[in-house]
Amino acid sequence: MRTDWLIPAPDGRLSAFAPARTGGIVRWTERRAGRGGWNAPELLLPDARILPYLCAAHGPAGFVDLFGLRRTGDSPRGPVEIVYASQYQAGRPMTGWHSIGNPHGKDAAKASAIGAPVAVVDGADVLHVFVRNADGGVSTRRRAADGVWGKWTAMPCKRVREGLSAVVTRSGRVELFMPADKGVYVWRQETPGGPLDRAPNLVFIALPGTASGTESYEGRITHYWRDETSGEVVGYRLPAAGAPDTAPAPLDGRSGHGPLALTRCLVDGYDCTVLAQAEQAGTLALTAYPTELESAGAWWADTREPCEGAPALALDREGRLVVAAIGPDGRLKVTRQRADQQGMALEGWLRL
């Protein structure tokens, strides 16, 4: 499970999405922005062939596209296709599932061995889908602003690991982080809507399925992953042109697993980056530090709240941090930053 499943709508309400255990999507929607009341969970687009994976892409218009994987036959090891469904307004009905196929066409053996898709929308309203293909590389497909899909194309890379991470800056540019067996591939967009260009490879080895990233300064992405050897969370930014490279900054977090949920918010008036992780013990933990000041260190606090899969973070309409987790019972749980207390004080958990 990814960490992009808690999404603010243009009207300020939050929506949470999770894979349904019997196939399809479960959606929770706030009744009023920032007020803490939520509608009852809805089971949408049930389909027993949908695998328990979901990623979300949302762009400037506020539309949400949810991407998943669907078996094309009855065999549990058979070929899969990438499908998506769209939400045009928070809490309203969604479209049905639409297929964009897979990078290998009708090659059943290869079509059963693709990875999990990652999708983002850039500032030109172009939607990008990236997926690890059966050859160990990455394939991509784009949907133009007019809704027309292009063809699958392969990116020149090899021995890529599962867990691609794609981030869009406030100016609308995409940066793609692709962990591989011998390092990391990074591809960047110069202008929204344009092609992605390859940046120098990184020599660091990321544990599969742990990469995520966020814009930490205008146009600058901080990438996070877990070191393959130690399991520790590290943060890293590509150096500016002509600047020396630096090693990834250690941020502890060895007690967790999977990708980090990330956002920035004000804590006592300071711009801070907040990280959330699922603990090996099955609970959710949080930390925060002044943005881009990794040298300050990270002190993780276990909330003791059960968490199955990856947590999610977002800001509500008032700029307060919202923390969300799915419990072992499949219920959504949310808490919110308290405005009447200092530090990272949170309200009591709301269980839906």
**Per-residue pLDDT at 339:** 83
Contact indicator for 45, 60 with CB cutoff of 8 Å: no
**Per-residue pLDDT at 36:** 64
Kindly give, in sequence order, each residue whose CB lies less than 8 Å from that of residue 340, ignoring residues fewer than 6 positions away. none
Q: What is the pLDDT along the chain (352 residues), one digit of tens a residue?
A: 689 999 999 999 999 999 998 899 999 999 988 776 899 999 999 999 999 999 999 988 889 999 999 999 888 788 999 999 999 999 999 999 999 999 999 899 999 999 999 999 999 999 999 999 999 999 999 999 999 999 999 999 999 999 999 999 999 999 999 999 999 999 999 999 999 999 999 999 999 999 999 999 999 999 999 999 999 999 999 988 777 788 999 999 999 999 999 999 999 999 999 999 999 999 999 999 999 999 999 999 999 999 999 999 999 999 999 999 999 999 999 999 998 888 889 999 999 9
**Per-residue pLDDT at 198:** 94
d(CA 347, CA 35): 12
**Per this entry, what is the length of the chain?**
352
d(CA 196, CA 120): 13
- Hey, CA dihedral for 200, 201, 206, 208, is it positive or negative? positive
**Per-residue pLDDT at 244:** 78
First to last CA, the chain: 20
